[in-house]
Structure 1
Amino acid sequence: MSVELPLWRALTGYRILTLVYVLGLSAVAYPRYAHPLGAAAYMAALTLWTALTWRRTTSPERCTRQFLLADLGFAVGGILLTYVIDTHARIMGGAPTLPSIWTAGAVLGFAIKGGWRWAAVASSIVAAVNLVERQELARDTVHNVVLVWVASVAIGYVVEVARASERTLAHALQIEAATRERERLARDIHDGVLQVLAMVQRRGAALGGEAAELGRMAGEQEVALRTLVAGGLVPRQRTVLDVPQDAAAAARPADPGPLPAGPCDLMVLLAPDAGAGVTLSGPGSPVELPAAAAVELAAAVSAALDNVRVHVGADARAWILVEDEPDAVLVTVRDEGPGIPEGRLAAAEREGRLGVALSIRGRLRELGGSAEWLSVPGQGTEVELKVPKGIAPEGGRRGRARA
């Protein structure tokens, strides 16, 4: 809902309530007018105008500039008619004009529609006409016109600030949505295209000849694609020969196919990762999660194993432990490598290496979970992946790495 919509509704209510008040004032003062029938005719016209145009002030689309000018004309005309219809003694005594406080509704319409500048112009016109009707700078008249001028300008300024804030919020939401979509695409690219390019680059360099040239080109494309996925915000100062080697040794299918409708057993999804060098341990009963959460968690485990193969070696031993806790599922991936030096993960993310930043940490963050790296030099590395059961809370804790 627009931030200014309640103001339009309030203006509609103000016009109706002030009309009732003005009709009451006119009925009480009817015998004292110099031309009572003229006052009654104006009140009838004002009532008909308000009744026919009440929907005009319910939204900014309906409240056009032409309507605002006509509405202000009704108010100004009523003020000038007061000089003809009412007696001179009542006017000089400070009697209210025919439209009285209904006039402020016309000025507030300008303030909400066009901001403080429109409000200043409309309230200045009303102030000048009131002074002409009174024919002197009476204290009560000056007090009323200054009050209307200040109030309308203040409301117009508030409306402009609210509109600017609404535009800023909408822009921020668009940026957030685009960033989340870019991270999702980046994870898919890392799990597929980048892994293939890294594999071609390494195999080509090992084979030599024409394959080496093909590998060099694949390496260049990997660097360019990593920069594009990362948003192009980090300046890259590496050559093709310095391409990062933290991609997986083999590509995974980019499209896992349609997800099942109900819960999914995480152990079934992790079973293909187990092998001669990877030991999978878990409960004897199924570890069920929503299908989307189970697939993302299994992909994060696979990304962690890919990092083990690249940084520790293709024959490195790794262990996967699945724990089914009452409120969450905890998966621990442990290797026998040398450990991660302090600050290495943050540096890798700055250099555009996306395995930890997106394929692991990003997946868990979107599930409302967490990813933690526990590493001791010479004693390997543990990656703890935790996903809450049921409805995932918004956001999630960021993973941390420590030496």
Structure 2
Amino acid sequence: MTQGTRAAPGISRAPGGKRPRAVRMSVELPLWRALTGYRIITLGYALALFFLNYREYAHPLGAALYMGALTVWMLLTWNRVTAPERCTRGFLAADLGIALAGILLTAVIDSAERIASGAATLPSIWAGGAVLGCAIKGGWRWAAVGSTLVAVANLVERGGAARDTIHNVLLVWVSSIAIGYIVEVARASERTLARALQIEAATRERERLARDIHDGVLQVLAMVQRRGAAIGGEAAELGRMAGEQEIALRTLVAGGLLPPQRSAAQLAEDAELVRTVTPAPAAAPSGPCDLQALLAPYAGATVSFAGPGTPVLLEAAAAAELAAAVGAALDNVAKHAGDGARAWILLEDEPGEVIVTVRDDGPGIAEGRLADAEREGRMGVALSIRGRLRDLGGSAELVSVPGQGTEVELRVPRAGA
């Protein structure tokens, strides 16, 4: 694209399994292709007018020389307006110069009677293509300059401001400036869209990292803090440092900023301590897998699991994320529902989607507690559950009544459903 605008790149695979090629999406490309067609068609129209009126020119040989030069120019440069990179400023200046030369030569080559009667100039409406090229390339300002030069040349060729000349001049001037303005608006919209897509991609990546932090590092830090406080001694100091890092990470996850309170050496030492107790991430599975096999290990003395009698196949990545969301829901039950609380997992295999329901008989969630937890940096529901389901194209509905437990319904659509 021109004017410092870049379209968001896409990837498409060439036929025959060849190397993928980059495809640029741009609102300008159809305009350039339309301009190419316009120049070719209007050249044919100008040549047809020339052949029909050949004997009526005062100097037909001069008209033939100009039309021949115009045809050669088009044969050499027809593809210069198929893409913005090829349509340079030098080409636009030369193209506009040829159009202006043809308009001014008409006053010398054609007869005074034909000019007075409103006969078409040698390039005829082909000259509009040069003005449209300026409009698409440089916006309404370039269009105003190009159309003004064409208007002046037409007035000079006609020898006065005749009504039909004024009408044609105003039509070219207004339409070219309008097209140039539309192109500028389209460019601005495309830049805004590209920026929005970048922000959305960055936000999704940040949420994914936040989920990983919540499911791994934060839980390990919380465990170290509790165990250190219980053991005492040097372990208590380790627990205190783990608690500080947990607060810092929760603040970052929530999008806030935390002023540094420890030196770089201390932070490096703390990070090394955390790495010694953080489990290594498992490799991501590939291919379809049975979701029941991922959910069944959650069953235990206080957790019941029920599912259909047949395997529930789901894309491996989606199944892993859904199982992680179920694990996050069960973690919330263990932390907030109390020691004696029970939980039930129900897996339903529908034709177009997979539904997993996690229910507990705990005290429920007080109104406004989830919003308070997000502000405090505790993003278990927002990221580990709802964020995962949103990335899968599904949904997570949480229903809780104080004193009657909590129910989380997770829905994931099947691929192609």
TM-score bracket, shorter-length normalisation = 0.7 to 0.9
Moved more, 65-74 or 21-30: 21-30
Residue 182 of structure 1 aligns with an amino acid whose one-letter code is R
Match of 2:329 in 1: 304
Structure 1 pair 380–252 and aligned structure 2 pair: CA distance change class (3 A): farther
Match for 2:283 among 238, 241, 257? Answer: 257
- Give, in whole Å, the separation in 2 of the partners of 1:284 and 1:31: 91
Distance 1:327 1:44 in 2: 65
SS of corresponding position for 1:300 = helix
Is residue 2:151 matched to residue 1:142? no
Match of 2:249 among 216, 225, 249: 225
**AA in 1 matched with 2:241:** M
Identity level (%): 75
Aligned partners of 1:202 and 1:215 also within 8 Å: yes
1:383 and 2:408 aligned: yes
Do structure 1's residue 52 and structure 2's residue 76 form an aligned pair?
A: yes
CA contact (8 A) 1:188 1:254 kept: no
The 3 A distance-change label for structure 1 pair 52 and 375 is same
Match of 1:368 among 388, 393, 410: 393
SS in 2 for 1:283: coil
Letter aligned with residue 369 of structure 1: G
* Structure 1: distance between partners of 2:35 and 2:29: 10
1:337 aligns to what SS in structure 2?
Answer: coil
Instruction: Note if 1:2 corresponds to 2:58.
Output: no
Aligned partners of 1:191 and 1:254 also within 8 Å: no
Q: CA deviation at 1:253?
A: 4.7
What is aligned with 1:248? none
Determine whether 1:29 maps to 2:57: no
Which residue of structure 2 aligns with residue 155 of structure 1?
A: 179
* CA deviation after TM superposition for structure 1 residue 95, in Å: 1.8
Distance 1:375 1:338 in 2: 9
- May I ask how many residue pairs the two structures share in their alignment? 377
The answer for the alignment partner of 2:217 in structure 1 is 193
Contact residue 254 and residue 376 of structure 2 kept, 8 A: no
The one-letter code of the counterpart of 1:29 is N
Consecutive unaligned residues in structure 1, runs of 5 or more: 240-250, 393-403
In structure 2, relative to structure 1, the CA distance for the partners of 1:252 and 1:339 (3 Å cut) is: farther
RMSD: 2.2
> Structure 1 residues 173 and 90 mapped into 2: Cα distance closer, same or farther (>3 Å)?
same
1:195 to partner: Cα distance: 0.8
Letter in 2 for 1:376: V
- The 1:132/1:375 distance shift into structure 2, 3 A limit, reads same
- Pick closer, same or farther for the CA change 1:378–1:125 going to 2, 3 Å: same
Contact persistence 1:374–1:381 (CA under 8 A): yes
Please give the residue correspondences for 1:237-316 in structure 2 after superposition, counting only pairs within 5 Å. Answer: 253=279, 255-261=281-287, 263-314=288-339, 316=341
The amino acid of 1:255's aligned partner reads P
1-structure distance, mates of 2:354, 2:54:
80
Q: Any conservation in 1 of the 2:284–2:317 contact (CA below 8 Å)? A: no
Equivalent residue for 1:173?
Answer: 197
One-letter identity of the residue aligned with 1:356:
V
TM-superposed deviation, 1:84: 1.3
Q: List aligned pairs for 1:21-170, cutoff 5 A.
A: 21-170=45-194
Alpha carbons of structure 1 residues 324 and 148: separation in structure 2 relative to 1, 3 Å: closer
Shift of 1:330: 2.7
Aligned residue number for residue 376 of structure 2: 351
Contact 1:191 1:252 in 2 (8 A): no
CA distance in 1, matches of 2:336, 2:33: 64
Following the alignment from structure 2 to structure 1, what is the Cα–Cα distance between the partners of residues 190 and 235? 56
For 1:172, the aligned partner's letter is A
Tell me whether 13-22 or 93-102 shows the greater mean CA deviation.
93-102
